Structure 1
């Protein structure tokens, strides 16, 4: 296995460690109605990040590497919007790194590893989309039409 691919896997593992800590920290700090709205959402994704970390660590061992113990910078805030934005920014970074590693795997014909990483990219992208909706960064077609609600004919 190429050392740069192993290095890329370890970089992703570090991002997953960081994500687990940051998401859990944010879920602890949330207060009021925002806690009810977002704490379980963040904790559920932290569990998904733990699953990703386990998969990456096992894969690194299988490829004769040594899993990193490095954690990146954990971003903190007491404002729920800023927290979600920090999580969004971090996950955009993760997806960019995963997608770059997918490309390396494609070039080197590491099919099984590429498929694993593509699934992780899909799961992280879904979380990004959920965060964007929570932060009202994306609008539905209905919202873009100035609040017009389509009429549904019944019967």
Structure 2
């Protein structure tokens, strides 16, 4: 993947100047020692957006790329009991990327992983809780206030 380097403001001004004088992209590229595609991009931006300056990047680059997200998703599908801190430490060991467990959770959510792991112990607790209230009669439920935001 090629490295993107911003050209200086002075070089961009020279590209526009030589383009206005009628020189070809190839001639301008050879004269200023930049690629022909860079010359084309500068001229196109000037014609379409009427600007020479570059717009600074707004957000911080992502710590996890698409490849890392797929790797995390494979691991969590293979073993749904893995916690986010455990996945973060494994990612640090494998790729050297130090990320917060919340970043792992956010990446899994972004990848479409929705169902959290519920342990067998918690499943039994939930079932017992539901069974406790299913046999209550209707008069008991009339005294309960249900709230919703």
TM-score (norm 2): 0.25
Q: Whose radius of gyration is greater, 1 or 2? A: 2
Structure scoring higher RCO (CA < 8 A, sep ≥ 6) equals: 1
TM-score (norm 1): 0.24
